[in-house]
Structure 1
Amino acid sequence: MLFTIRWSPHRMMIQEMGGYLVTILIGKGRGLWSFYIMILI
């Protein structure tokens, strides 16, 4: 129990970083998608 409590902040930090990476990837994907639409139209 103490181990999990000790490492919970570290895990939260990793989750936050993962969330940022996901948002960046989604943003890049959206940019590529609009780029493809521009080429098609």
Structure 2
Amino acid sequence: MSRLTRWIVLIIFLFILDLERLMNTLDTIFTHLKQWLSSN
């Protein structure tokens, strides 16, 4: 049971880290899109 719990915690932790990176990437993309749209 403890091993399973540890795996679940690890997966959630990795997912949260990935989500944070994904948000940063999306933010960068939106910023570029806005700049590109305003330059046209």
What amino acid maps onto 2:36 in structure 1?
A: I
TM-score if structure 1 supplies the norm length?
0.81
Following TM superposition, the consecutive aligned residue runs of length 4 or more in structure 1 with deviations greater than 6 angstroms are none
Tell me the C-alpha RMSD between the 2 structures.
1.0
Residue 9 of structure 2 corresponds to 12
Matched length: 38
TM-score if structure 2 supplies the norm length?
0.82
Residue 31 of structure 1 corresponds to 28
- In structure 1, the gaps of 5 or more residues are none
